[in-house]
Structure 1
Amino acid sequence: MIRQLDVDGVPTLLAPTSGPLRAGLTFRVGTADETLPRRGITHLLEHLALAPLGLADYHFNGATASTYTSFYMQGSEEDVAGFLTAVCRTIHDLPMGRLEVEKEILRTEWSSRGSAPVREIPFWRHGARDHGLISFAEFGLPTLTEHDLRQWAARWFTPENAVLWIAGDRVPAGLRLALPAGVRQPVPAASSALPTTPAYFANGSRAVVLDSVVRRRSTASVLADVLERELFRSLRQEDGLSYAIDTSYQPRGDGYATLRALADALPEKQDAVLGGFIDVLAKLRVGRIEQADLEAAVAKREDALASPEVDADRLPTCALNLLTGEPNLTVDELRAELNSVTLADLHQVVQEVTATALLMVPDGHTADWAGFTEAPTRSTHTVTGTAYQQREGDAELRVGVDGVSYLGPGGPHTVRYAECAAMLAWPDGARRLIGYDAISVHIEPTLFDLHPGAIHVIDQQVPADRRLPMPARPPEQIPQPYAAANRRQSQQRPAPAKRSWWEIPVMVLSGLATLGVGGISLLLTLSMFITDEADGDEGWLWGMVVVCWLVTVVLALPIVLLRRRRR
């Protein structure tokens, strides 16, 4: 049974375990609470808090997710107490001497993550803010200062905004959670970059992925298992089209949850997997849900609830529920909810899945034929302002008092200053404005006939806290118009090979000899056609003509070869 108590003002959940003592301290702050120019500040603070403990002998870890940050420890009572006490102390006395080192570590960590099939989905659903920020690189790392980190820690890492959970018999002796007072922070409201759903977008991944938002309840978690069984049976067992099939159900903390399903595909099987995936969704949408699948999904979850360690295993989830204001049900209440789920309940959740669906399809494919609308990749409006033409091309850039628009291939793209999530600024004058809807406008002064004051106008209109200074680019990385690029290439051509003194005399002699022999060859040829008499000597005369022309060609070769060499 889970008990709730208090440790230094931090709500604490305690449950017995037969295994080793483990504990976690979770704060209600994550990437969804950041802004794009400050993307990465929570992750950086987590790393700095753990940096002094890097050579400890016990097992510990930290994690930064979309809506929470947690610190985890497993070991003896003394180790757990020492670890959590040190974390709380270090969070508000960060080892700033390691600031640049940890920034480099985080940049390396991001670059080595690879491209998971689901990484782009939050970006497409939410845009460049709140829950969509987890798809973006940690843009804020280069500019984050000690002052920024101290302010962030003081706001979010407080006892009122934390929950401690302990899988063990008691609170470890000597544990102290010395955190400054604050307030509980609510989960940020989820924005949407999708004008309508169901929608789809194409991605370079070989997987088909369904992302949906449903009300948080046991029925939705059961549906995730039912959907996985249907996809596995159809795409793997029956048709042999897919190998990796997986579903997930993840509460968001605001009364809703994300339900996802994934099926991988070989390049030559992508059409079949996409079609089969949509067929399964259509089957569930019309209510064709197997009772056996429902019973199997409920039985699987009941088995987990029957585990002797069930309360200890539920502690991290219960801590998140307590942080976000969600109810924590007992094991008996959860079991009763599961056993009350009917096929009609599942069908109701399927309608929610369908209504909010965002489908990721492989490149070169669409899903409009199945009733999905293409997610927007261009803006529906443009701004009024001064128009600047592309130096070589038909594109146009408009700079107005309320935003900028690009009108050209793939456009229009518009970002209004009031809806600008971030502006990346390079020293050479290039700018990239990223809107809340994740549509961006990239401005290269070298490619447009911009007035010298145009960039200044943009800089003045974008709020200062949205600007991100970028490092200087090498000259070869700055785009140039086609003609300018050609001029630069011509200036970089290698110098001609060194010429020898004998080339001209040889070419003159070759030319004279060619003219002489060539003239004789021409006269002989004409005489053969003009004469009307035929005799037995005509054969050897034609042979002489052929020989003369071959000699002419040989004599002309030095001229051709030497001219090519000189060029």
Structure 2
Amino acid sequence: MMVTESEIDGVPVLHAPAAGPVRAALVFRAGQADETPVLAGVTHLVEHLVLRRAGGTCGGVSPVVTTFAVAGTVADVHAHLQHVCAALAADPAPQLDAAKAELAAEASQRTPTIFDSLAVVRYGARHHGLAGLPEWGLPALTAADVRRWIDTYFTRENAVLWTTGEVTGLRLALPSGARRPVPDATALPDRFGLFRPPPYAAIVRDELQPAGVVTEVYAGVLERAVFAATGSVAGAGAYRVKAHHRPRGDGLASVTVLAEIFSGDPGPIAGEFLDALAALRAQPVPAEHVAAARQELDRALIAPDAAVSRLPGRAFGLLTGAPEPPVEELRARLRAVTADQVGELVAASRGAELLLTSWSGLIGSAPADPEPVTGRRFRSLESRRAALTMDRTGITRTWPDTRPVTVPFASTAVLLKWPDGGRRLVGVDARHVDVEPTLHETPADVVPAVDAAVPADRHVALPPRDADAIPVPRPRGKHPVRYGGAGALFLGLVAWVLAWAALMLAITPGASSAPVTLSGIFLVAWTWGGFRLRRVRNTTVAHRRLTRAREAAARS
């Protein structure tokens, strides 16, 4: 069945008739990759505002497009699409707080996927990487911010409608604007972003390749090669191998093959996974894998519902400037794909791949992290080996048994600010350093200095935290630090008196015949007493700073 193209009120329309309920989707070239960290979440907020007013529940935001979908009778579909257009034109202010509350509740239940993690590793806290990170900008977004975003991205020139039903009489009252280009999606130039493992064992290889039918076949070959290799070692464990071909809209596609291990030992599967990838590079690509991948893709092109199932992809192509050719031309291109062409992609994959496991992170050498800064050092109230260090260029957090994390001020992606004085600096690689006055011995000038060092257009002012959300010093275990009170003060003073007495006896001629023993008593008592008194001091400092922070939160 053929897809016909037309236009309604300046919006391109793709139509493929199908039996059953009418399906349709209004798709905009707007997504998370268009945002900045300060505006992160604005596209998702627009989607929720529209669905609240239009009464629908089917919408979606991806890195490049936003979709409002509907199914029902022709009248239902027409009415819903017109409600979507009216909602985009309406004032966002009355529904803004309710929509933000919905998104906050949704975020609390969201579990990052492996694709979220990959996006952050490759792109950091920028464009496509924002899809895998918190929506930092939501609390501070105003109705004016939302209005500007709608007027820029949700216009007739930046939209495509696809539908399986009649379009006669349909109106799409969208404002005029301009087609928005696909955002730049360069990877981090000198390091990888923060990796957050999924909640299950997985090994994954992700790479960038030119979009097209050859790359689609290549993805099918990867899936078959890995599945054939891992099947012999899976045993009784549950696992799944899948390859994904995801166009970015800029001429490149992300090719991801992963093995998700839900039960059993992941080690043997990971070993065979890596061996299968190495074998593809070392040997000619198996012709049978290429033929099987071509056949599967060809079956999808000629399936009875192929025209309808490919409507979202055709809309994506129109919006990103790469319209899909006719089916017969696609089939001809597919039949022309050879094992040698797939082998060229295999050979080129090494320079663009990411290999990750959920249990050990990046496989292979990683670029060096930013060098720790040297300057003012602020001791932690949690550990004597932990500290914040700050100079004019950036800030470093050190913690026992972990690598230091440094965020240069000039490359800070976003600075999150709480009224109680807490600060979070997020670098372009998505790693962050927290400046919490309740956790470190930071003088009063440190927080203003941090605010001044980070460019003002990267600040996000957050609402007050609940008193219980303001951090208190904790050890690395599960229980709060048992800082001292009156008992610690008394024992510390007694120990110091004993230490001085031992020292006096040790250095007084004729007072003792065992100066070495007394000196040892002095050192032990002095050290132990100092430890007890330091607990008292930490208690006082932590209590004073926490009280100030909670008072500031209450005033706000």
Mapped partners of 2:357, 2:482: distance in 1: 43
Residue matched to 1:144: 141
Q: CA deviation at 1:355?
A: 2.1
Q: 105-114 vs 130-139, which deviates more? A: 105-114
Match of 2:389 in 1: 398
Which structure 2 residues correspond to residues 37-48 of structure 1 after superposition, within 5 A? 37-48=38-49
Quick one: distance in 1 between partners of 2:321 and 2:125? 26
8 Å contact kept, 1:24–1:166: yes
Superposed CA deviations along residues 186-223 of structure 1, whole A, max 9, x for unmatched, are 111113236379x9996663111111111111111111
| Contact 1:213-1:352 within 8 A present in 2 as well | no
Q: Is the 8 Å Cα contact of residues 47 and 61 (structure 2) preserved in structure 1? A: yes
Residues 94-113 of structure 1: matches in 2 within 5 Å?
Answer: 94=91, 96-113=93-110
User: In the superposition, relative to structure 1, how do residues 200 and 66 fare at CA in structure 2: closer, same or farther (>3 Å)?
Assistant: closer
Displacement, 1:155? 0.9
Q: Is the alpha carbon distance of 1:475 and 1:114 closer, same or farther for their aligned partners in structure 2, counting shifts above 3 Å?
A: closer
Distance 1:267 1:193 in 2: 34
**Aligned match of 2:209:** 214
* Deviation, structure 1 residue 19: 4.2
Match of 2:283 in 1: 287
| C-alpha contact (below 8 Å) 1:202/1:366 kept by paired residues | no
1:185, CA displacement in angstroms?
Answer: 0.8
SS of the aligned residue for 1:191 comes to coil
Distance in 1, matches of 2:443 and 2:158, equals: 50
In the TM superposition, residue 417 of structure 1 has moved relative to its aligned partner by: 2.5
CA distance in 1, matches of 2:19, 2:487: 73
Q: What's the counterpart of residue 467 of structure 2?
A: 474
Amino acid in the other structure paired with 2:371: H
Q: 1:76 to 1:204 in 2, by over 3 A?
A: closer
Displacement of 1:388: 3.4
Within the alignment, does 1:420 sit opposite 2:428 as a pair? no
Q: Give the counterpart of 1:84 among 63, 81, 84.
A: 81
For residue 21 of structure 1, report the CA deviation from its aligned partner: 2.5
Summarize deviations over 1:328-377 as a string: whole Å, max 9, x none: 2110111011101111111111223332111221324773xxxx22466x
The whole-number CA distance in structure 1 between the counterparts of 2:337 and 2:457 is: 49
Give the structure 2 partner of residue 453 of structure 1.
445
* Corresponding position of 1:10: 11
Deviates more, 1:352-361 or 1:112-121: 112-121
Distance across 2 between alignment mates of 1:216 and 1:476: 46
Cα deviation digits, residues 269-292 of structure 1 (max 9, x gap): 222111111011011112342222
Distance across 2 between alignment mates of 1:103 and 1:477? 22
Match of 2:58 among 41, 56, 61: 61
Give the aligned partner of residue 540 of structure 2.
none
In structure 1, distance between residues paired with 2:50 and 2:469? 40
1:465 equivalent in structure 2: 457
TM-fit CA distance, 1:172: 3.3
Residue of structure 2 in register with 1:538 after alignment:
none
Q: How far is 1:75 from its partner?
A: 2.2
Q: Secondary structure at the match of 1:244?
A: strand
> Residue type of the partner of 2:473?
Q
- In 2: Cα distance, 1:113 partner to 1:366 partner: 24
Query: Take 1:301 and 1:476, find their aligned partners in 2: how far apart are those partners?
Result: 52
Distance in structure 2 (CA, Å) of the matches to 1:473 and 1:312: 50
SS in 1 for 2:116: coil
Distance 2:195 2:471 in 1: 34
Following superposition, the deviation at residue 84 of structure 1 comes to: 1.0
Q: Which residue of 2 aligns with 1:551?
A: none
Per-residue deviation, 1:123? 0.9
CA distance in 2, matches of 1:490, 1:463: 43
- The amino acid across from 1:449 in the alignment is E
Deviates more, 1:224-233 or 1:471-480: 471-480
Q: Secondary structure at the match of 2:421?
A: coil
1:195-344 matches, within 5 Å, as: 195=190, 205-236=200-231, 239-240=234-235, 243-265=239-261, 269-344=265-340
Partner secondary structure for residue 187 of structure 1: coil
Contact 1:167–1:315 (CA under 8 A) maintained in structure 2: no
Relative distance call for 1:204 and 1:63 in structure 2 (3 A) is: closer
Structure 1 residues 360 and 94 mapped into 2: Cα distance closer, same or farther (>3 Å)?
Answer: farther
One-letter code aligned to 1:380: P
Q: Is the 8 A contact 1:205 1:363 kept in 2?
A: no
Q: Is the 8 A contact 1:270 1:362 kept in 2?
A: no
What are the ranges of 5 or more consecutive residues in structure 1 without an aligned counterpart?
Answer: 494-567
**Distance between the aligned counterparts of 1:476 and 1:249, measured in 2?**
42
The 3 A distance-change label for structure 1 pair 91 and 388 is same
Residues 201 and 46 from structure 1, CA distance in 2 versus in 1: closer, same or farther, beyond 3 angstroms?
Answer: closer
Instruction: Report the 3-state secondary structure (helix = DSSP H, G, I; strand = E; otherwise coil) of the residue aligned with 1:190.
Output: coil
Could you tell me whether the CA contact under 8 Å between 1:126 and 1:194 is conserved in 2? no
SS of 1:328's equivalent in the other structure is coil
Q: With the length of structure 1 as denominator, give the TM-score of the two structures.
A: 0.78
AA at the equivalent of 1:228: E
- SS of 2:311's equivalent in the other structure is helix
The change in CA–CA distance for 1:491 and 1:76 in structure 2 (over 3 A counts) is: farther
Q: Is the 8 A contact 1:125 1:193 kept in 2?
A: yes
Aligned counterparts of 2:487 and 2:6: Cα–Cα separation in 1: 74
For residue 22 of structure 1, report the CA deviation from its aligned partner.
Answer: 2.0
Runs of 5+ consecutive residues of structure 2 not aligned to the other structure? 489-556
Report if aligned partners of 1:49, 1:94 keep a CA contact under 8 Å in 2: no
1:306-342 deviations in Å (ceiling 9; x for gaps): 1233223222111111111113211011101110111
Q: Do the aligned partners of 2:234 and 2:269 also contact (CA within 8 Å) in 1?
A: no
The residue matched to 2:413 in structure 1 has which SS?
Answer: strand
Residues of 2 paired with 1:261 and 1:122: CA distance?
14
Name the CA shift for 1:386/1:329 in 2 (closer, same or farther; >3 Å): same
Are the equivalent residues in 2 in contact too, given 1:236–1:243 (CA < 8 A)? no
SS at structure 2 position matched to 1:207: strand
Q: Give how far 1:31 is off.
A: 0.8
Letter in 1 for 2:450: I
How much has 1:15 moved relative to structure 2?
Answer: 2.7
Asked if the contact 1:218–1:338 (Cα under 8 Å) also holds between the matched residues in 2, the reply is yes
Residue aligning to 1:353: 349
- Report the CA distance between 1:234 and its aligned residue: 1.9
Alpha-carbon deviation of 1:297? Answer: 1.1
In the alignment, which of 412, 421, 424 is matched to residue 429 of structure 1? 421
SS at match of 2:115: coil
What is the aligned residue count? 479
Structure 2: distance between partners of 1:266 and 1:12: 43
* 167 and 194 in structure 1: CA distance in 2 versus 1, 3 angstrom threshold: same
